[in-house]
């Protein structure tokens, strides 16, 4: 049996699911895209190739190996994009919650059935159908669970609106001893610079009491201010609209003081080193063209 344990985003990582780009399929049609950034790259003829994405994920796997992290991969489904392991499920405490994601992505969920089946039955949760949720919107943070959401009346028109209020309520009911704090995110089907696809696209808590944040990703200024106050202004690295677009907030913590980051994030990586973090730089800009980066491709199962 797998004894899951994830209480926050930064405790020492022991095991993780890392997405795969094998048999990723051909470049999707515009109408099959889930986000505006992918569309932009398809139109420009710069959509990433399978071989480049495999190389990038292998670079992350090597970092995990260096830190003695056990890595699981989804079972490969022919011609299916299985890069974003964070979308399909997530762990809070010792419970694995299967995400209710976009309907035509259900196959991706079944690709980790072999992991799901190793978890005790009473620790496996499938939320009711009305609860839409993806792991990129859900961040366990000790006594808190931070959740990105969108409750606008145009929710059903926005393919970029992924986690709804029903899911926020369901998570609060599952974890009555925690404070579930939700944040309304800015959504756009057409402009990637105005679209926070998930909470981790505009915010990420780090070790040492630090955090990365992008103000414009939040629809409600008070909610953004709450986060800045929570971490303390002096501990927050504010990223620009361009840096959000490049996915600068979407780094991944192996521990309190080790962070995997994209090699081109010069300003961020310098700041992190100045804060005494060890920064493991990897090439990941091709995967970033699909509006997801390091946190999106990883799904922690056990942290110390």
The residue-averaged pLDDT of 283-303 equals 93
Tell me: the pLDDT tens digits for 60-71? 999 999 999 999
Q: Which domains does the chain have, with CATH numbers?
A: 13-303 (3.75.10.10)
Close Cβ partners of 231 (under 8 Å, ≥ 6 residues apart):
205, 209, 210, 211
DSSP symbols for 230-264: HH-GGGEEEPPHHHHHTTTT--EESSSSEEEEETT
Let me know: does 119 contact 2? Beta carbons within 8 Å: yes
| Best CA proximity match to 241, nearest among 269, 272, 216 | 216
| Best CA proximity match to 288, nearest among 38, 28, 88 | 38
Please calculate the CA angle 291-45-39 and round it to the nearest 5 degrees.
35
β-pair partners for 98: 89, 126
Q: Look at residue 189 in the predicted model and tell me its pLDDT.
A: 66
Tell me: the pLDDT tens digits for 119-136? 999 999 999 888 989 899
With 70 as the cut, is the pLDDT of residue 103 above it? no
Please calculate the CA angle 76-19-237 and round it to the nearest 5 degrees.
170
DSSP symbols for 99-132: ----GGGHHHHHTTHHHHTTS-GGGEEE--TT--
With 60 as the cut, is the pLDDT of residue 31 above it? yes
Distance CA 195, CA 36 (A): 8
3-state DSSP helix/strand/coil % of the chain, to nearest 5: 35, 25, 40
Distance CA 225, CA 67 (A): 35
Q: Look at residue 188 in the predicted model and tell me its pLDDT.
A: 74
């Amino acid at each position: 049996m797998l004894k899951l344990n994830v209480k926050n985003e930064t405790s020492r990582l022991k095991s993780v699911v890392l997405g795969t780009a094998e048999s990723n399929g051909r470049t999707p049609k515009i109408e099959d895209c889930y986000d505006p950034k992918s569309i932009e790259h398809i139109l420009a003829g710069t959509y990433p190739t399978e071989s480049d994405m495999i190389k990038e994920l292998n670079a992350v796997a090597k970092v995990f190996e260096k830190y003695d992290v056990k890595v699981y991969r989804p079972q490969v489904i022919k011609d299916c994009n299985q890069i974003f392991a964070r979308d399909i499920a997530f762990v809070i405490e010792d419970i694995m919650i299967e995400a209710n994601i976009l309907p035509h992505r259900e196959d991706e969920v079944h690709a980790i059935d072999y992991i799901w089946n190793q978890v005790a039955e009473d620790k496996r949760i499938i939320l009711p159908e009305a609860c839409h949720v993806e792991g990129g919107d859900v961040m366990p943070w000790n006594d808190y669970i931070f959740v990105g959401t969108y409750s606008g009346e145009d929710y059903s028109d926005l393919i970029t609106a992924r986690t709804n209020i029903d899911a926020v309520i369901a998570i609060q009911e599952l974890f009555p001893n925690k404070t579930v704090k939700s944040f309304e995110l800015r959504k756009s089907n057409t402009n990637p610079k105005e679209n926070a696809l998930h909470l981790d696209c505009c915010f990420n808590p780090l070790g040492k009491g630090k955090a990365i944040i992008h103000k414009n990703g939040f629809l409600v200024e008070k909610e953004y201010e709450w986060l800045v106050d929570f971490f303390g202004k002096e501990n927050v690295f504010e990223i620009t609209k361009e840096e959000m677009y490049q996915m600068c907030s979407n780094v991944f913590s192996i521990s309190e003081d080790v962070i995997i980051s994209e090699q081109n994030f010069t300003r961020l990586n310098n700041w992190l080193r100045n804060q005494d973090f060890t920064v493991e730089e990897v090439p990941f800009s091709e995967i970033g063209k699909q509006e997801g980066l390091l946190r999106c491709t990883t799904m922690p199962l056990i942290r110390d």
